[in-house]
Structure 1
Amino acid sequence: MTSESAQRKRARYVLFDVDGTLMDAVSNQRQVWHAWATRYGLDADEVYQVALRTRPMETFAQVAPGHDPHACLATLHELEDEDVWSGVYAAFSGASELLQDLPHGSWALVTSNYEHRVRGRFLRTGLPLPEVIVDAAAVEEGKPSPVPYLRAAARLGAEPADCLVVEDAPSGVRAGLRAGMTVWGVNAADPVAGVHRHFKSLREAVPHVLAFAAGPQRAR
């Protein structure tokens, strides 16, 4: 085995969810849905509670069945795009340090949002961007399907078994597990079912994620 082959064999990769994992966007999501509900004359709190557990098109079907879902989605996208530049965003403690210290080409973002919004938010918060971003437009099946994480691994040239997924949400955790990857949960008081390790905050997870990326001795 050549030294180059040995190095590739030792390589480890980290795949991050964005909202709720690297960036606190809960208040932004609530504000966007509040603005959307107001435009349609709906109760904002009721709409937001539905939106928390369903995808947008499913949300529209439940809360605004008499409206064109595609028009509803266009309005939502307009409001989300506006929020990228007008909303207040904050990266979780430890996010900048972690992303700066990971080896170049060893990590990616896997998000149910769209790449242009992620880039805008990262620009505003000063977080570094990776070469690989798998967004909602890149796949036909979103989380909890394993497809987004498998797509990210393929673009990195990584085997699923060499990848660590860092997530905060049950759908993302299921996606990582179905992809055959190591999955760690962050930013929750209690662990999401199925995670291999759980950290109450991203800050707490930072040294462990860096250790995973450094070599195979820190697997599950």
Structure 2
Amino acid sequence: METFAAVAPDRDPYTSLAVLHELEDEDVRSGVYTAFDGASELLHGLPPGSWALVTSNYAHRVRGRFLRTRLPIPEVIVDAAAVEQGKPSPAPYLLAAERFGVTPEHCLVVEDAPSGVQAGLRAGMTVWNVNTPVAVDEAHRHFESLRDAVSDVLAFVSGG
């Protein structure tokens, strides 16, 4: 709502949000998607039930996009409907950890957005920043691409 008020102050933010939802749902049905380089290798390499997706979007869109890119669908999705406060609040990542029954210090967050990096750090998790040319402040590690992070993420998950 804050973004709509800032970029389109002459329009009703609720109407703008409804239009955005319609556009996104249509995009899930008809859009062309390509997974990030390394995503398939990473997600197929992770043990089932060991990873979650934390998103400011909605689970039905995530599932649709993952299906279209032939990526495995996460068993745990924490979406915008699951929490009252999204990133940079730690709430979404803490809920994901709770759903797995693990403590935050045993979690690895792989993030491409500054608000997500902050959320993971505030949750007390290890945070690796990917897909940015410059590291997001305070991230524990930085990789310019997801592809560059794959072997390190798989090693982290396996305890290596």
Q: TM exceeds 0.5? A: yes
Residue of 64, 84, 91 corresponding to 1:120: 64
Task: State the match for 1:158 in structure 2.
Answer: 102
Task: State the match for 1:139 in structure 2.
Answer: 83
Please tell me the residue identity of whatever aligns with 1:203: R
The range that moved more, 96-105 or 168-177, is: 96-105
| Total equivalences in the alignment | 160
The alpha carbon displacement at 1:58 in A equals 1.5
Task: State the match for 1:212 in structure 2.
Answer: 156
Deviations 1:78-126 (A, max 9, x none): 0111011222111011101111111111110000100000000000000
Q: Distance in 1 between matches of 2:119 and 2:153?
A: 19
Q: Distance in 2 between matches of 1:127 and 1:143?
A: 24
Q: Distance in 1 between matches of 2:16 and 2:106?
A: 40
SS of residue in 1 equivalent to 2:81: helix
Matched, 1:186 2:126: no
Residue of 8, 11, 18 corresponding to 1:67: 11
Please tell me the residue identity of whatever aligns with 1:193: D
- List alignment gaps of at least 5 residues for structure 1: 1-56
Deviations 1:131-154 (A, max 9, x none): 100000000000000000000000
Q: Distance in 2 between matches of 1:186 and 1:63?
A: 28
SS of residue in 2 equivalent to 1:148: helix
Residue of 3, 7, 32 corresponding to 1:88: 32
Q: Distance in 2 between matches of 1:106 and 1:72?
A: 37
Q: Distance in 2 between matches of 1:189 and 1:85?
A: 31
Q: TM-score, normalised by structure 2?
A: 0.97
Higher RCO (CA-CA < 8 Å; seq separation 6+): 1
Taking structure 1 as reference, are residues 63 and 130 closer, same or farther at Cα in structure 2, changes over 3 Å only? closer
Q: Distance in 1 between matches of 2:7 and 2:156?
A: 43
Q: Distance in 2 between matches of 1:79 and 1:165?
A: 29
Residue of 85, 98, 106 corresponding to 2:42: 98
Pairwise CA RMSD: 0.9
Q: Distance in 2 between matches of 1:62 and 1:162?
A: 38
Deviations 1:193-218 (A, max 9, x none): 01111111101100000000001xx5
Deviations 1:13-58 (A, max 9, x none): xxxxxxxxxxxxxxxxxxxxxxxxxxxxxxxxxxxxxxxxxxxx11
- Counting only pairs closer than 5 Å after superposition, residues 45-56 of structure 1 correspond to structure 2 as none
Task: State the match for 1:149 in structure 2.
Answer: 93
- List alignment gaps of at least 5 residues for structure 2: none
Matched, 1:168 2:145: no
Greater helix percent: which structure? 1
Q: Distance in 2 between matches of 1:73 and 1:177?
A: 29
